[in-house]
Amino acid sequence: MEKRPKRIGILTAGGDCPGLNAAIRGVGKTAIVEHGMEVIGFVSGYTGLIHKEYTMLEESKLSGILTLGGTILGTSREKPFKNDLNNDDINKPELIVNNYRELGLDCLVCIGGNGTMKTAARLTDMGLNVVGIPKTIDNDVWGTEITFGFDSAIAIATEAIDRLHTTANSHQRAMVIEVMGHSAGWIALYAGMAGGGDVILIPEIDYNIRSVCKKVEKRFAEKKPYSIVVVAEGIKVPSSKTAGSYICECISEYTGVEARETRLGYIQRGGSPTTMDRILATRYGSYAVEIIAEGKYGKMVAMKDGHLTTIPLNEVENKLNLVSTDHPLVKMCRNMGVSFGDEY
Ligand code: F6P
């Protein structure tokens, strides 16, 4: 019979997002209070694991962090399995395995997005016990219906769009707002729907700039005083431009309508998590420890049909959760006259 896990490590890797501390707290408190485990927090993602930089997470350190944005452990985009030409004498995977063994870890919890899960899968291949927890504002991790961080990001993006309506109305302008999402359009779609966007451009649907301009002109012809154009950062644009600036320039140049651009940027990733993200991150964290206690490793916790479940880490890697072109929200938006730039 396998021995009961007594000591686990935890790290947060990749871009930060609201809810990371709630997840750390969910893991830590469940591990300590329910299972009497010790919890080690690695500093700055995989960097801390490579360099053996860590802090003991006693229960007292987990109090008061639920509502905090960012991550108390710090994060980095370190990819230990990627060749590092400046440091080719250092074998990072080997250092990680040695540190894991020296610290007497029974399992490592990796909280992150796609890159983090890929590394977690490789560490599993090297014989470590690993459990992944999906996070990202982009909501693009394959194998789960939702990642924490997404709800907070769309709440912020929606509030920003709300604020653009009034100034757009006053000046009778087209307001272009660029939101994050990497190569997925989830933030643009959800915030675009919630914020009443007239045009929503996402990487999954090829747009035609003439179609976008026609929509803006049509609205003005119909005496609608302004237009809101929500643009995902990942749409195709000429390489010298950002998504929002390109669309804004085109509207200014090809229509008679004055256009302005807003790039929301890192505001989407900062600050306190929403209620739903606190709950989701806590559930993922606590559930991760339950599966560790059952001796189940090499898995990512996930949401399927609204229920907590797991998926093997090696099934998650190299895949993305993208918006399908016939997603119900896309269809509903279209039925209400929203343009995705692919009409006409
Ligand atoms: O993956 C989250 C994300 O915020 C993306 O939406 C964005 O493209 C990227 O990270 C920004 O990365 P960085 O923090 O490296 O600038």
pLDDT greater than 90 at residue 6: yes
Residue 46 identity:
Y
Cβ within 8 Å of residue 170, ≥6 positions away: none
Residue where the block lists tokens 């915030």: 191
Q: Has residue 343 been placed in a domain?
A: no
pLDDT at 90: 87
Shared domain check, 143 and 16? yes
Q: Where in the sequence is the domain holding 202, given as residue range(s)?
A: 153-269+324-335
Q: Has residue 340 been placed in a domain?
A: no
Number of residues that make up the chain = 344
Q: Has residue 241 been placed in a domain?
A: yes
Q: Cα(182) to centroid of ligand 1, in Å?
A: 7
Among 182, 263, 264, 268, which is best to mutate for testing ligand 1, by the most ligand atoms less than 8 A from CB? 182
- Atom 11, ligand 1: residue with shortest CA distance: 15
Q: Has residue 236 been placed in a domain?
A: yes
329 versus 2: the higher-pLDDT residue is 329
Shared domain check, 288 and 139? yes
Q: Into how many domains does the chain fold?
A: 2
pLDDT greater than 70 at residue 222: yes
Shared domain check, 137 and 14? yes
Find the angle CA(17)-CA(18)-CA(22) to the nearest 5 degrees.
Answer: 120
pLDDT greater than 60 at residue 1: no
Q: Has residue 259 been placed in a domain?
A: yes
- The whole-chain average pLDDT of the chain stands at 97
Shared domain check, 193 and 124? no
Clarify whether 138 is annotated catalytic: yes
Q: pLDDT (tens digit, 9 = 90+) per residue, 231-279?
A: 999 999 999 999 999 999 999 999 999 999 999 999 999 999 999 999 9
Pair 334, 340: CB distance under 8 Å: yes
Task: Summarize the confidence of residues 9-38 as an average pLDDT.
Answer: 98
CATH number at residue 82: 3.40.50.450
Q: Cα(137) to centroid of ligand 1, in Å?
A: 9
